[in-house]
Amino acid sequence: MTNLEKGVAMDLVGKAKRLRVYLNEGDRIGHLAAPVAILSLLRKEGAAGATVLHGMEGFGASGVLHTPHLADVVEKLPIVVEWIDLPERVERLLPRLKELVPHGLMTLDETEVVLYKPRAVRDVSPSLTVADVMARDIVTVAPTTRVRDIVEQMMGQVYRAVPVVENGRPIGIITNSDLTDRGRLGVRLTLLNALDPTGQRAELNKVEGEGRVARDVMTRDPVTIPSQTRLPEVAALMAARHLKRLPVVDESGAIVGMISRLDLLRTVVQGFQTADASPPRSSGLSTTTPVSAIMRSDVPTVNVDTQLPEVFAAVVSTRLHRAVVVDSERRVLGVITDAELLQRVTPALHPSAIRALMQRLAFVHSSEDDHHASARQAGDLMTGKLATVSPETSLHDVIDIVVSGGHKLVVVVDKDGRLLGAVDRADLLRGLLPSQS
């Protein structure tokens, strides 16, 4: 039986990665001390936390010993910035950190978090605007950028949409759906990442053969948001239009950033501290509502002995792209995602699997094909990376779990672990609106 991640506010435990950056006192990045610049980037991107450690003595590649006893080298005493976080967040930010740090040493290793309970964070100000929390370092493409280049750029990244910009203004946006509907990409990006290199190249070659560019596949005249819009207004717009992210524009209509649903959720639970350290106030978004008030009951489920075709049917039955595994008493045991399904069959079965997952059709295979699957039942396919909460858990604490653990689905269970319902990020966003409280 698989161990589930029991939801506790900001209780991020389990496998993680630890990055260490070795610097010297006096090192600078731009006009900032190097450690400050690194911490600023990590904090802006929602990292779980980082620590600056000051060394007493040390020497580097030069062989020069740096020690506080030598007055002329005090500024070169060693400093270590240590950051421990979710593997996917470390992998996303590592390239930017490498570009940021001009010289020094970086090491990366796997670690295990056995306890993570930081102090409670103050509520954020209702005057916070999009400009305060949006991502400014964004990826954009030109109208003439090849679709294949766009797909390759988005593969393995956290973002699932890129604005199409002309003369500084967003004239369109390309999402996962645009790539599969008009770009003729045969699989969603999450599934493309699950294919082996040969399968990925085959899909990319199909896209390249179509000869399309960004303007051919983009959603034109995208919904944008002014940078001075308040956060509750952004949440209401996203919920009403079923949007996951919005390009942010200034007074002239030029793009200045992007704001996502996850940015809003992160701000609610992690807060935002201004330079003047003004007193904390309410964010204007309701976070005390119990999760039972917004949870959905239409959760696709399978039993541990459910066979592969029925597992496919359950996974594609809703927009969640996953199914919860339960026992005969409906106690939650794990979860199965579409990407994991694709990974568990060999390339010989990929066409049938992709057809089932993308077109929501039956997974057709013969009994002779069973040897192509490394798992044939739900119990063999499931993973324990699933957060569970009680019905009384507040939205604040559920969002905390989603943000800190990278979960897209949180399952609600009774005191005996039986399934009651579930919420995803869209449900949580709607639940934050004052009218829903």
Q: Which amino acid is at 160?
A: R
Q: How far apart are CA 250 and CA 247, in angstroms?
A: 10
Write out the two tokens for 271: 């807060």
At 259 the pLDDT is: 95
CB atoms within 10 A of CB 175: 20
- 69: pLDDT strictly greater than 70: no
- 143: pLDDT strictly greater than 60: yes
Question: What is the pLDDT averaged over residues 142-146?
Answer: 97
CB atoms within 10 A of CB 321: 20
Q: Which residues pair with 424 in a beta bridge?
A: 409
Between 287 and 3, the higher pLDDT residue: 287
Q: Which residues pair with 323 in a beta bridge?
A: 336
Q: Which residues pair with 389 in a beta bridge?
A: 412
At 68 the pLDDT is: 47
Give pTM, 2 decimals: 0.66
Domains of the chain: 5-113 (3.30.70.120), 130-270 (3.10.580.10), 291-436 (3.10.580.10)
At 367 the pLDDT is: 54
At 366 the pLDDT is: 56
Confidence of residue 320 (pLDDT cuts 50, 70, 90): confident
- 328: pLDDT strictly greater than 50: yes
In this predicted model, what pLDDT tens digit does every residue of 13-50 receive, in sequence order? 678 899 999 998 778 887 778 888 898 788 777 677 78
- Helix (H) or strand (E) run with residue 66 in it: strand 65-66
Q: Which amino acid is at 151?
A: V
At 58 the pLDDT is: 56
Expressed in percent and rounded to 5, the helix, strand and coil fractions of the chain are: 35, 25, 40
At 371 the pLDDT is: 54
Between 80 and 60, the higher pLDDT residue: 80
Write the DSSP assignment of 322-368 as a string of letters: EEEEE-TT-BEEEEEEHHHHHHTB-GGGHHHHHHHHHHT------GG
- Helix (H) or strand (E) run with residue 88 in it: helix 87-100
Instruction: Supply angle C-alpha 384, 385, 388, rounded to 5.
Output: 90
CA 75 to chain CA centroid, nearest Å = 39
Between 349 and 248, the higher pLDDT residue: 248
pLDDT mean across residues, the chain: 82
- 157: pLDDT strictly greater than 70: yes
Question: What is the pLDDT averaged over residues 101-121?
Answer: 77
Confidence of residue 124 (pLDDT cuts 50, 70, 90): very low
Q: Of the candidates 318, 316, 275, which has an alpha carbon nearest to the alpha carbon of residue 299?
A: 318
Beta strands in 138-270 (DSSP E): 161-166, 169-175, 219-220, 225-226, 245-249, 255-260
User: Are the beta carbons of 332 and 326 closer than 8 angstroms?
Assistant: yes
Between 10 and 89, the higher pLDDT residue: 89
Q: Of the candidates 193, 386, 423, which has an alpha carbon nearest to the alpha carbon of residue 290?
A: 423
Considering only 159-168, 198-207, 278-287, 339-348, which range has the smallest mean pLDDT? 278-287
